[in-house]
Structure 1
Amino acid sequence: MSLLSIQGVRKSFGDHVVLDDFSLEVERGECVVLIGASGSGKSTLLRCVNLLETVDDGVVELAGEDITDPQVDADAIRSRIGIVFQAFNLFPHLSVLDNITLAPRKVHKIAPAAARETALAMLGRVGLAEKANAKPDELSGGQQQRVAIARALVNAPELMLLDEVTSALDPELVGEVLALLADLKGEGMTMVLSTHEMSFARQVADKVCFLHDGRLLEVGPPEQVLANPQHERTKQFLSRITA
């Protein structure tokens, strides 16, 4: 059974169709990279999987459970899925440690001491143990994004969704975030991420998916999609990226 199964999903905003009969299977431990131009539907797809948007048609299943069922407990599902956006969305008035422990304490009712212990361990995992008491504005962009990833990981999600997590970073800071994602992949984390970092997709992805106008036009291993694309739209997109 796939960990994530997306079947015939359609999503529109008014008359604008953003996802059109979109289907994708993600196996446990896979890293699936979404590529495509802005407006192709990548971010909306991730938001639909995390139930931040309601699909108009189709089914999304997490470990065999239909999470698009209107009766589903959305908060319970979101506790099983970590999501990180391109904007760090850290609370500026809270310390790094408080940012990470806020949801475990307030939402999941974890005891403060236990939440703190887990958060410190997670900060160590992302290489920021010494920044626990710092405020977000005392960190570099790359460090802030690693804190955001740690915050998503602290609840031990089954699935991580990452939406252009390096696009707001200075070029010299991109590498540290991508290295962390590569480490997570090596540890068996299932990830679906949108990115324009083709080198990362080549090195780490199990599948690369090319989206155009809300449709999945091409999917396959990176050596096929990136090096030998079959669809003309994929070829055009990659030629613009490499140019």
Structure 2
Amino acid sequence: MSAAASGEQPLLSLRGVRKSYGTGAARKVVLDGIDLDVAEHACVVVVGSSGSGKSTLLRVVDLLDDVDDGQVLLDGEDVADPWVDANAVRARLAMVFQQYNLFPHLRVLDNVTLAPRVVHRWPRAEAEQAGLAMLEKVGLAHKARAYPDQLSGGEQQRAAIARALVTGPELLLLDEVTSALDPELVGEVLDLLLALRDEGTTMLVATHEMGFARDVADEVVFLHEGRVHERGTPAEVLDDPRRERTREFLRRLR
């Protein structure tokens, strides 16, 4: 059930969010008035063709990109306001990208504990205890002392997810986290995300994995040309879409 339907304030709300790049004739509108809610402990999955605005949507939530107009409300606070402390907001969120972005010269445990030690000022012993616990959770405790190039792609992405989760973020943002993986490695990352969903981790996910969307999403949002073209339960959007553009998108995937 959505936050709006239950009467609860969503953890995240986007209202009329607009974002464009370039100027003049070269200006490209990427987000064109996005309205979106993510309830606490819910998983909202965003799907759409390349260029539909999925990644930009996550970047404006994480304040990596400024919005041109609209509100990004985190627990009721407009964090898109220029006066807001962006670093304080990002400390409440965590984002995992398509590429793992692990530091190759640091061991896995050091990658996972870098933000807790440097940004959050945790003592090393506390950070390493939390980091080892998180690596255990994602099935990588035995790789804690390894370097990233000694891990498979799936293991590196799981390490990146452990790094994102170690400080206990309120919202986890995931941007096509399986797109850089070989097909045989996708399943281990999707299994981890499914487990996180079952534990109640609040997630906003951009993905092209329709099976994952069907299995874990509370709501599926189909973006087209920077707009929410259709939204609903996985069964509604993926199995019985109302809009022809949604049906065309799903036919191409199949």
**TM-score band w.r.t. shorter chain:** over 0.9
Answering whether residue 20 of structure 2 is matched by residue 12 of structure 1, we say yes
The match for 2:203 among 191, 194, 219 is 191
Q: Percent of aligned positions with the same letter in both sequences?
A: 64
Could you say what secondary structure the match of 2:246 adopts? helix
Mapped to 1, the partners of 2:119 and 2:42 lie a distance apart of 28
Cα separation, 2, equivalents of 1:208 and 1:37: 14
Counterpart of 2:188 (choices 173, 176, 197) is: 176
Give the match for residue 205 of structure 1. 217
Code of the residue aligned with 1:78 in structure 2: it is: R
SS across alignment from 2:130: helix
| Counterpart residue identity of residue 178, structure 2 | T
Pairwise mapping of residues 77-156 of structure 1 onto structure 2 (< 5 A)? 77-156=89-168
DSSP 3-state at the match of 1:17: strand
Unmatched segments (≥5 aa) in structure 1: none
In 2, the alpha carbon distance for the partners of 1:47 and 1:133 equals 31
Give matches, 1:57-72, under 5 Å. Answer: 57-72=69-84
RMSD: 0.5
For residue 118 of structure 2, what is the amino acid of its counterpart? K
Q: CA deviation at 1:203?
A: 1.0
CA–CA distance in structure 1, aligned partners of residues 213 and 38 of structure 2: 16
Q: Which residue does the alignment assign to 2:39?
A: 27
Distance 1:196 1:70 in 2: 32
Cα deviation for residue 75 of structure 1 reads 0.6
Amino acid at match of 1:206: D
Give the whole-Å Cα distance in 1 for the aligned partners of 2:66 and 2:81. Answer: 10
Structure 2 gaps, min length 5? 1-8
The answer as to 2:88 corresponding to 1:76 is: yes
Q: Could you give the per-residue CA deviations for residues 200-243 of structure 1, whole angstroms, max 9, x where no partner exists?
A: 1111111000001100000000000000011111011000001x
CA–CA separation in structure 2 for the residues paired with 1:54 and 1:155: 24
**One-letter amino acid of the structure 1 residue matched with residue 11 of structure 2:** L
C-alpha separation between the residues in 1 aligned to 2:124 and 2:83?
32
Q: Deviations over 1:132-180 (max 9, x none)?
A: 0000000000000000000000110000000000000011100000000
Counterpart pick for 1:215 among 214, 221, 227: 227
Aligned match of 1:2: 10
